[in-house]
């Protein structure tokens, strides 16, 4: 059934991710195409509380497809976790007669959206925007592909200097709870080893692997460290390894927020556009408390409850095996 929704707001929350602007563009223009009044919320949930909710037209989102970050900005908002903050946000939406809210972000964003929708009955659709690729219901989350490519480019440059100086580099990438980024960048960059949150690799095993490489005259070695690895960050691991393995000059690079920025890849521009387009269409059909995601190259709906609490993702067994086979 088609809903009576006429006024839709969109916000971005949590960590920014490349492709968010493409998604915002698709949301605004799809809504306008269907005759809806569209609004952008600046600074996420904080913007809802501060009533920073502004009308947007088709020209408001011109020439933003190629831009990283988010034109709507994002901010942490502890006040939105409290009933008083949510009530104020709802009053601000109600005053503008906004009856639909589309949120782009990760698990924290969806947690807030789910509670907000349940408490006040506002129609909510979520779009997975996070470089971590850790939400159930979408094979790829918005920004993940760009982040992987950004890291690969950085590692390629580090490899040049590592080869020139017979160096061992420990490169720390984002992924507190998910090793998706680390595993794929390890394969794509030809890393000698990767340390993941989901799979324990002992320091003894790591050192043995590095010694084997040195014995076959490898001129450099690169180890990818996911920030959620149980042994700590790249600096801690590098110190432990250096005490027992002195073959290489050891260096550490923490890529940090470099991974979040930059112009989105073609994949993320298309994904953002597909998800934004689908979110508006599903909301107009009457769907609420759902996430739109990409599964098997088709856009599918997953409840916010499932997206947040079903943890069925497993790192691909063939990729895990490849990290050992291809790095000899």
**What is the phi/psi pair of residue 283, to 5°?**
-65, -40
The widest CA-to-CA distance across the chain, in whole angstroms, is: 71
Contacts of 265 (CB under 8 A, 6+ apart): 18, 19, 145, 146, 149
For helices 83-95 and 107-120, the axis angle rounded to 10 degrees is 70
| Measured distance CA(205)–CA(129) in Å, rounded | 35
Is residue 183 within 8 A of residue 326, CB to CB? The reply is no
List residues bridging with 123 in a β-sheet. Answer: 100
| Measured distance CA(97)–CA(84) in Å, rounded | 20
Residue 280, H or E segment: helix 266-285
For helices 203-215 and 234-244, the axis angle rounded to 10 degrees is 60
132 catalytic per annotation? yes
Contacts of 16 (CB under 8 A, 6+ apart): 68, 69, 70, 74, 143, 260
Residue 226: half-sphere exposure toward Cβ, Cα within 13 Å: 25
In the set 132, 134, 145, 268, the catalytic residue is 132
Is residue 320 within 8 A of residue 183, CB to CB? The reply is yes
List residues bridging with 103 in a β-sheet. Answer: 11, 126
Catalytic residues: 132
């Amino acid at each position: 059934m088609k809903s009576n929704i006429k006024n839709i707001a969109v916000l971005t929350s949590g960590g920014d991710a490349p492709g968010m602007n493409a998604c915002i563009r698709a949301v605004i223009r799809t809504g306008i195409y269907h005759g809806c009044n569209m609004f952008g919320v600046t600074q996420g949930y904080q913007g809802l509380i501060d009533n920073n909710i502004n009308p947007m037209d088709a020209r408001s989102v011109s020439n933003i497809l190629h831009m990283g970050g988010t034109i709507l900005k994002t901010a942490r908002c502890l006040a939105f976790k409290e009933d008083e903050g949510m009530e104020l946000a709802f009053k601000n939406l109600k005053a503008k007669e906004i009856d639909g809210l589309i949120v782009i972000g990760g698990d924290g964003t969806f947690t807030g959206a789910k509670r907000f929708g349940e408490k006040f009955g506002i129609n909510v659709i979520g779009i997975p925007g996070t470089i971590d690729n850790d939400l159930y219901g979408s094979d790829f989350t918005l920004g993940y592909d760009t982040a992987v490519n950004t890291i690969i480019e950085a590692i390629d440059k580090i490899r040049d200097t590592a080869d020139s100086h017979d160096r061992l580099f420990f490169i720390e990438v984002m992924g507190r709870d998910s090793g998706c980024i680390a595993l794929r960048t390890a394969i794509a960059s030809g890393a000698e080893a990767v340390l993941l949150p989901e799979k324990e690799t002992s320091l003894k095993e790591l050192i043995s692997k590095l010694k084997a490489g040195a014995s076959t005259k490898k001129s450099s070695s690169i180890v990818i460290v996911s920030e959620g690895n149980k042994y700590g960050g790249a600096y801690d691991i590098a110190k432990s390894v250096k005490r027992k393995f002195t073959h290489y000059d050891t260096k550490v690079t923490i890529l940090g927020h470099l991974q979040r920025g930059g112009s989105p890849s073609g994949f993320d521009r298309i994904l953002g556009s597909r998800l934004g387009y689908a979110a508006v269409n599903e909301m107009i059909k009457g769907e609420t408390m759902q996430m739109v995601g990409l599964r098997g190259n088709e856009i599918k709906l997953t409840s916010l409850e499932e997206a947040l609490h079903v943890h069925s993702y497993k790192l691909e067994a063939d990729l895990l095996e490849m990290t050992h086979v291809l790095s000899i």
